[in-house]
Amino acid sequence: MSGCSPKAAPMAHGKHDVVVDPVTRIEGHLRIEAVVEDGKIVDVRSSSQLFRGLEIILKGRDPRDAQHFTQRSCGVCTYVHALASVRCVDNAVGVDKELPHNATIIRNLVLAAQFMHDHIVHFYHLHALDFVDVTGCLSADVNKTAEIAAAVAKTVRPDPKIVSSKEDLQKTKDTVKSIVDSGRLGIFTNAYFLGGHPAYVLPPEVNLLATNHYLNALHLQVKAARAMAVFGAKNPHTQFTVMGGVSCYEGLTDKYINDFLALYADIKDFILDCYIPDLIAVASYYKDWASIGGTTNFMSFGEYPAQGGEADLNSRYIKPGVIFDRKISDVKEFDPTKIEEHVKHSWYKDGSPKHPYSGVTDPMYTSLDDKAKYSWMKAPRYEGKSTEVGPLATCLVNYGLGHPEFVKYVNFVLGKLEVGPDALFSTLGRTGARGIECLITCLKTEDMVNDLKENIAKGNLDICKDWDMPAEAQGVGFVNAPRGGLSHWIDIKDSKIDNFQLVVPSTWNLGPRCDNNLPGPTEEALLDNTPIADPERPVEILRTVHSYDPCIACGVHVIDNKTGNVKKFRVL
């Protein structure tokens, strides 16, 4: 299937104002306004429609309480916010330089489990339906699909442990048929692929295989969530992180480690035998999307600190760095002093760009029709530039730095698809990078567990370090979350939170224009050759937006530019 030739994307004629509001299959409330001329997007605005004000809520509270508030900003991202808050207080009080190795390992293990959970759910349940026609599997030849399944499963390793059988595939086809025959389509009721759509090009057999794994992933993702809870006590909203380490002494016992390993084994098999093979199989039919949806600048914080390296981003297994103008061979060192947030086009009172330590959250809503101020998100910039964060940025930075695993698996995926590195700068590249990041995290997880077991065998059972709360301090916690660079910034006065700022991945990626009127990364990506075949079913917008896995959730309104009529759709 890697030899499938890219086909020109179908495009609509004329001029259309397309409004996707709300965007679905994301977390939160996002609105996309686009102007389409002759089948291409020529202007776009990404608008967050929800004001939370967590920074305001945190003022005056004990710094130790921050993690319990911030991780509840989202039921999906949960742990990464707790980790960022804990890391920023660790940094403020100085204990990040003395964190016990076991604490670092356990924090890393829960983060790795969240990466695996998030990326599997994203590919199958949030993004795949932009490319996979579930009802298309009704015309699939089950015997032929079983042959494809056996071949595809060997994409990563020659002896896969998971191969969809003819019986499994027939059961999936029968299930879909019974749903369609009943007329009660449930979550597929308003799917864009119903009735046929020119932008969906998978053959019936690949649709059937992907749908089979879509259903299997619903069960598998529970195991990844349970793996987080082995050490994290529960999921969502883990309860094991404390300033100076972790509190889960049970995590040092054979029972807990073996429970984690048992869940991890099933997750690993699914990633190796289903996720990565499906990613490559589906992508091989959409190679035209390797030249659509690209951006220019990229930044990664890196992740999984080494022993004693919580305060040193360069100690991390996955490395931090910044790339400008798509120059992979010239990775710059990340400098947190170069981050600023702009509010000129956001629903906040005007002010000059500010570093997060000096950040102000002062809301000033104007109107939904305001083209100047149009989002509750601020516009983060690095050196004044619009900068993409997330799996693609992480892959590019580490590929450019020569990280052995990233070089190996980026080249592996590019080779399977028979495309060059330029294909990474696209919607397809962004989706592929998420799978690569998941695979590398998955393979590294076993090493982390072995490090923990080795410490325990040596009698090293420390998991927390004592510390004292200063009267005044500043600190920052950097987490390279599944969606990208996340940072929490704290200013402590009188041992209380005086100021707290969250700069989150989706703010970097989906924020509005800045003081220099530069579009945010999602806006930039949608302006990069995005075709629209049917303005009333703009699945192409969803493909690029979903490739960022937005954490902000939402129907579609399409406004006819000539008549002004608004057509409303509930979008899957």
Residue 75 pLDDT: 74
Q: What are the catalytic residues?
A: 27, 74, 77, 81, 483, 506, 551, 554
> In 21-136, which ranges are continuous DSSP H helix?
54-58, 66-70, 78-93, 101-121
Residue 420 pLDDT: 96
Q: How many CA atoms lie within 13 A of 163 on its CB side?
A: 19
Residue 245: which H helix or E strand, with range? strand 245-246
- Does residue 255 register a pLDDT over 70? yes
What pTM does this model have?
Answer: 0.93
Chain-centre distance for alpha carbon 504: 11
Region of poorest pLDDT, from 11-15, 115-119, 422-426, 526-530: 11-15
Residue 57 pLDDT: 86
- Does residue 1 register a pLDDT over 70? no
Residue 558 pLDDT: 29
- Does residue 60 register a pLDDT over 50? yes
The mean pLDDT value for 204-219 works out to 98
Residue 192 pLDDT: 85
Residue 561 pLDDT: 35
**Mean pLDDT score of the chain:** 92
- Does residue 508 register a pLDDT over 80? yes
In the structure, what pLDDT confidence band is assigned to residue 559 with cuts at 50, 70 and 90?
A: very low
| Percentage above 70 pLDDT, the chain | 94
Tell me how far apart the alpha carbons of residues 350 and 257 are, in angstroms, rounded to a whole number. Answer: 51
Per the CB < 8 A criterion, the answer to whether 122 and 434 are in contact is yes
Per the CB < 8 A criterion, the answer to whether 527 and 37 are in contact is no
Backbone φ and ψ for 46, nearest 5 degrees, come out as -105, 120
Residue 541: which H helix or E strand, with range? helix 539-547
Region of poorest pLDDT, from 9-13, 179-183, 249-253, 505-509: 9-13
Residue 264 pLDDT: 98
